[in-house]
Chains A and B, each alone.
Chain A
Amino acid sequence: MKFGVVIFPGSNCDYDTFFVLKNGLRQETVFLWHKDHDLRGVDCVVLPGGFSYGDYLRSGAIARFSPLMQEVREFADRGGSVLGICNGFQVLLELGLLPGAMLRNKNLKFLCQYVHLRVDNPETRFTRRTRRGQILRIPIAHFDGHYFSPPETLRDLEEHGQVVFRYVDEKGKPTEAANVNGSAAGIAGLINRRGNVLGMMPHPERASEALLGSEDGRLIFESLVQP
């Protein structure tokens, strides 16, 4: 499988993501520059974490207008796999490939810590190596991760199994304390209706080697590679 990791000015998890895909999963991986118009024949586009365009205006708001993102939109419309991590999730929301928007974390703090995620939908191309209800320990690092959608959109997301990951405590309970950024319905990761675009705030690329404290994030990349 060929992966493309997009670089915006201000991306800072691009090399970590590239390293995991190339050296960890031994997949062909290329960088994609935000000003290019060519996706170089990749099978999966990864929008990495960081602060694209300094997060000016709103997180992900300017990156959305990059020339490459118009290609990514068409790629997604054709059913191509797109994974947005942290800032990449914010870009997908601004682009309208996923519903909703991000607000500042409820406690107004930048949160950089491990969280527990519960897999609520293992039947996606991003989670088929996980089990329903499996708890993943993956770190977050964001200021604007407080997911918001109007109630009718939230109902729609739940009805169609689009909430893939939810913030829970270590036992799998979706408590208020575990929902550290205040996200609506504790949403940590969302997929589109068609099932080819996933956005998640936690960083699976930072949890893909035992040496770094957790390998749980690797399951997401492995799901894409090994059906």
Chain B
Amino acid sequence: MRVRILVSFKESVLDPQGQTVKNALLTLGYGFVKDVRQGKVFEIALDGITEEQARRAIPEIADKVLANPIIEKFTWEILTEQKKV
């Protein structure tokens, strides 16, 4: 089983890296870009636990280690297994 966890800054936190990317996109002529928020992606492979257990463990891992709840928020999803050829 694989899960993907997306960590990004809370709306209330300034994201100067996202701002810099946004300014670059505007400079390149993509005037429709309204805002850019930069974040981190974690893809974690799991083994030996049920999906139900994973659904409890993943938010715990994200909250305790992957994200700093003072400045960051996270979302996560279980990735559907790719069929082996």
Contacts and interface: CB of A to CB of B under 8 A. Distances in A.
What is the predominant secondary structure among interface residues of chain B facing chain A? loop
B16 to A, nearest CB: 5
A149 to B, nearest CB: 7
A148 B65 contact: no
Interface in B1-22: 12-14, 16-17, 20
B66 interface: yes
A57 B66 contact: yes
A103 B65 contact: no
Given A94-B68, A101-B71, A148 B17 contact: no
A103 B71 contact: yes
Nearest to A107: B16
Given A103-B16, A150-B12, 6 more contacts: A57-B66, A58-B68, A101-B68, A101-B70, A108-B16, A150-B70
Contacts of B14: 103, 106, 182
Nearest to A94: B68
Contacts of A57: 65-66
Interface string B30-71: 000000000000000000000000000000000001101011
B70 A108 contact: no
Interface in A104-153: 104, 106-108, 148-150
Of A94, A100, A103, the most chain B CB neighbours within 10 A belong to: A103
Interface of B: 12-14, 16-17, 20, 65-66, 68, 70-71
A61 interface: yes
Contacts of B17: 104, 108
B13 A148 contact: yes
B74 to A, nearest CB: 13
13 contacts: A57-B66, A58-B68, A101-B68, A101-B71, A103-B13, A103-B14, A103-B16, A104-B16, A106-B14, A106-B16, A108-B16, A148-B13, A148-B70
B14 to A, nearest CB: 7
A4 to B, nearest CB: 26
A76 to B, nearest CB: 19
A149 B68 CA distance: 12
Nearest to A149: B70
Contacts of B12: 150
Nearest to A106: B16
A73 B27 CA distance: 48
Contacts of B70: 100-101, 148-150
Given A101-B71, A103-B71, A148-B13, A61 B65 contact: yes
A186 B4 CA distance: 37
Interface in A84-104: 94, 100-101, 103-104
Nearest to A148: B71
A182 B20 CA distance: 16
B20 A108 contact: yes
A122 B42 CA distance: 44
